[in-house]
Structure 1
Amino acid sequence: MRLQKYLALAGVASRRASEELIKKGQVKVNNRVITTLGIKINPEVDVVKVDDTPVLYKEKKVYLLLNKPKGYITSVNDPHNRPTVMDLIPGIKERLYPVGRLDLDTEGLLLLTNDGQLAYRITHPKYKIDKKYLVKTVGIPSPEKIKSLEKGVLLTEGKTSPARVRIIKVESSRRWAWVEIIIHEGRKRQVRRMFELVGNPVTRLERIQLSFLTLEGLKTGQYRHLTLEEIRLLKRELGILG
């Protein structure tokens, strides 16, 4: 975050007046006088003072659950000007970041937050947070293929962790099936690559659950704030105090 923005958010002065304070040498970061505009700080780490008085500002933590449509990039911005998931939350003032990624053609449940600790723990395999996907495959995965997916398949960067897999529905002509898979990793295009490896490419992919969170009540493209109870339960599962 830019220093002048931090000062403005903390209520020290307006953005323009904060810039003047910096130019006059009245602002210190980690006890070093700053006179150059544009310097960035980390509010969680850096100590900011104005006239030797500490400036304290804690950004409000925001937790959103979005039902991502196809055709949106899971990114804060895109150099090619493609639509991003941030375009779907225009009314949110806080600077949020997607937790993990859903690729362009994947739909479904996506969390966005400015809580870095929670985001890190959700995406790290160490914490074993279940991610449930609904997969439409070309052909019907055989029992042997299902077992292979469950035990873990060898991708270029290593073997996948054990998964839970079950066939939900088989089309009458047996040309395709709906398959449910639960994993706790988040490698790039992991689910698609796993099914391609066993010979049943994916034609549609939707994440329908993350831990206990589901898409219930959310239409495609809609989002909602997590409830206080959901935040509390999620933090407890992740071992986050407070």
Structure 2
Amino acid sequence: MTNDPRGERLQKVLAHAGVGSRRYCEVLMEQGRIEVDGQIVTELGTRVDPAKVSIHVDGMPVQIHEDKLTLALYKPPGVVSTMEDEMGRPSLAQYVEDRPERLFHVGRLDQDTEGLILLSNDGELTHRLTHPSYEVPKTYIARVEGSVTRGLGKVLTRGVTLEDGFVQVDDFVLRESADRNSIVEITLHSGRNRIVRRIMEEVGHPVMELVRTRFGTIEVGHLKPGRTRQIAGTELSALMHSVGM
């Protein structure tokens, strides 16, 4: 990394990205906690072009490109995971129609499933979050038919074979079990179509209701159906870091 005399002062870029005040960012620089293109930068007079460099604080990436936006959306049931539906069904676009950015959905949720889905115009982040090689975990809570026993967790973590191949869950928690239905929490990184529904159908407990509560490092939290919130700051840094950015 070389000093770009036509660029902005590094501490100003960091402050604008939400890392902290300019003075705080200067302290981080003096402590050797800032990297620009892989090199530690301690010189307070350093100038950079935000469009041409990558910056990390304590090893975590900082999103410095103002045109990049990532949102968390709680998708209600009955909404299709597309930005435009030729059949006229409710789609994701209606929840971001007031935004000027052209956003893309990160992965999909089937029409009947509700919960967390990400929308972004960051092509590299979207690619990494959806590519199988990065094995991004997703967590779901499902109400399923029948009384589930704790032994089912061992079955699912060992894996089951579906019509399109073998699949394992990463984690399984039995939240509640009753005679007619049970509540389970499932974490897996497979992105195959309707995978949770097909897994539970295979083991004799069809899904009645399904909610995605976590995507990678992002949790749905207190987000209400049909509402969005921006992923930024340390939350965005952790998401980017989780996929090697």
Tell me the equivalent position of 2:109. 102
Tell me the equivalent position of 2:211. 206
1:203-234: CA deviation from partner (whole Å, max 9, x where unpaired): 00000011221122311110011122222111
Larger radius of gyration: 1
SS at match of 2:147: coil
Q: For 1:157, which of 164, 175, 184 is the aligned residue?
A: 164
The answer to whether the Cα contact below 8 Å between 2:83 and 2:92 also exists between their aligned partners in 1 is yes
Number of matched pairs: 181
Residue identity matched to 1:194? I
Q: Does 1:131 align with 2:138?
A: yes
Tell me the equivalent position of 2:19. none
* TM-score (norm. length: structure 1): 0.71
* TM-score (norm. length: structure 2): 0.70
The answer to whether the Cα contact below 8 Å between 1:124 and 1:185 also exists between their aligned partners in 2 is no
Structure 2: give runs of 5+ residues left out of the alignment. Answer: 1-64
- In 1, the alpha carbon distance for the partners of 2:148 and 2:199 equals 12
Tell me the equivalent position of 1:225. 230
The answer to whether the Cα contact below 8 Å between 1:152 and 1:163 also exists between their aligned partners in 2 is no
- In 2, the alpha carbon distance for the partners of 1:235 and 1:194 equals 29
The answer to whether the Cα contact below 8 Å between 1:65 and 1:109 also exists between their aligned partners in 2 is yes
Tell me the equivalent position of 1:80. 87
- In 1, the alpha carbon distance for the partners of 2:243 and 2:185 equals 24
Residue identity matched to 1:133? Y
- In 2, the alpha carbon distance for the partners of 1:103 and 1:115 equals 23
1:159-192: CA deviation from partner (whole Å, max 9, x where unpaired): 0134211110123xx1101000000111000000
Deviation (angstroms), 1:144: 4.2
SS at match of 1:191: helix
Q: What is the Cα-based RMSD across aligned positions, in Å?
A: 1.5
Identity rate, percent: 38
The answer to whether the Cα contact below 8 Å between 1:67 and 1:107 also exists between their aligned partners in 2 is yes
Deviation (angstroms), 1:124: 2.0
Residue identity matched to 2:146? G
Tell me the equivalent position of 1:6. none
- In 1, the alpha carbon distance for the partners of 2:98 and 2:171 equals 37
Q: Which 4+ runs in 1 deviate beyond 6 A? A: none
1:1-26: CA deviation from partner (whole Å, max 9, x where unpaired): xxxxxxxxxxxxxxxxxxxxxxxxxx
- In 2, the alpha carbon distance for the partners of 1:125 and 1:153 equals 19
SS at match of 1:77: coil
Tell me the equivalent position of 2:98. 91
- In 2, the alpha carbon distance for the partners of 1:121 and 1:153 equals 26
- In 1, the alpha carbon distance for the partners of 2:201 and 2:156 equals 11
1:131-174: CA deviation from partner (whole Å, max 9, x where unpaired): 11001000023344332211121111110134211110123xx1
